[in-house]
Amino acid sequence: MLVDAATLVWIAPEPPDPEQARALSSWSQTHGVKLEAPVRAPAPALAVDARVADAVEVLLDSARDAIAARERDGADRALSSAESMLRAHPELPQAAWLMAEVERARATQWRHVPPADAEAAEGAWLRAEAIDGGRVAGVGEVASARRPQPATVAITLSPEDSQLWLDGEPVPGRVISTGAGVHALVATWDGAPIWAAWVETPPGTSSVRVDAPAAPRCSVDDVGRARVTSETVGASSGDRIDARHVGCGAWVAAIADTEPGSVRVATCETDRCGPALAWRAPRLSMPWTWSPPVERGNDGKRLPWAAWSLVGVGVAIATGVVIVASGVLQPAPTETRFVSGGIKRQ
């Protein structure tokens, strides 16, 4: 990899000590590569306005009052407004539940407000059950004796390591079994929604492609996907860098070596890394130190070393799992993600 500059990803539970920092500087000077810190630019998140859900709740109450008073026009206006608001905001955590309640209110309207239409009421109730799986009918409600037709949806997701949610529930895989009808599909990164849409799932098998925005290349969230794994090739074994899902064009992964003052460095291009080779700075006859790349915050001020954007990763070699942190290693949560400004637990 012949480049003038590359993003440095330091993989260890703590920042490099002075000798390791000197080794990194020596590697940088010897190879003519300027090592830079990852930029702090997360994937753009969708704004979630809780006031929208509150407004829908108010409209549902108005629709129920109008239905009780047999006022079709008032019920129609309230339910249409509620549905329009939800259609525009599938990113709301409760969007699917609220849409199901809109459909149940319609079912009640079709049964109790003239002119009644039992078939339309059945269809609205089935649409509600397809979204939330169904609930016990309340006072004045009549549940359908039928069930929504089954639907299987194969999802193609980009970026692949985003988390998918269907109707407010996490999706563990990429094939979803649900009911035929409309559903709220949301992709999140680091707990924040980055893509959302209402999708129509027909009976039987169908597919959906989700093209969510990825984290900017060479950003903290991008290179934070890197992991250290142990593998055996032939008679030898060693650490390898798992760079799946990384989009940075030119970056360098560095980990602490078993020998004090030595580091292992791998050069990488996007999702491919070479072997992690040991590197030690030559011994000098006089003191010699190196300072890491300077990262500046949004206000232009220098950030301290502990906040510097090298990827701090605790490596659990026995399981091949890498815990990404920033600064010192902290007690292990359920999942630790590489985030701007420290550890975020999920």
- List pLDDT tens digits, range 94-108: 999 999 999 999 999
Does 194 lie in the same domain as 277?
no
Does 57 lie in the same domain as 12?
no
Does 257 lie in the same domain as 170?
no
143 is a domain residue: no
Domain edge (last residue) among 185, 211, 237: 211
Residue 220, sorted as left (phi over 0), alpha (psi -120 to 50) or beta, turns out to be alpha
Q: How many CB atoms lie under 10 A from the CB of residue 20? A: 25
What are the average pLDDT values for consecutive 10-residue runs of the chain, which has 346 residues?
83 89 94 92 89 98 96 97 98 97 97 94 96 92 93 91 93 92 94 95 95 90 88 56 92 92 93 93 60 51 38 31 30 36 37
Domain edge (last residue) among 211, 233, 263: 211
139 is a domain residue: no
Instruction: Give dist(CA 332, CA 337) in Å, integer.
Output: 11
Per-residue model confidence (pLDDT) at position 342? 35
Alpha carbon separation from 344 to 103, 212, 284, 336 (Å, rounded): 38, 21, 41, 6
140 is a domain residue: no
272 is a domain residue: yes
Does 63 lie in the same domain as 32?
no
- Which residue has tokens 């997360």? 42
45 is a domain residue: no
179 is a domain residue: yes
Domain of residue 77, residue span: 50-132
141 is a domain residue: no
172 is a domain residue: yes
Domain edge (last residue) among 211, 235, 252: 211
CA angle 53, 44, 46 (to 5 degrees): 10
Instruction: Give dist(CA 292, CA 307) in Å, integer.
Output: 12
Does 229 lie in the same domain as 331?
yes
Q: How many domains does the chain have?
A: 3
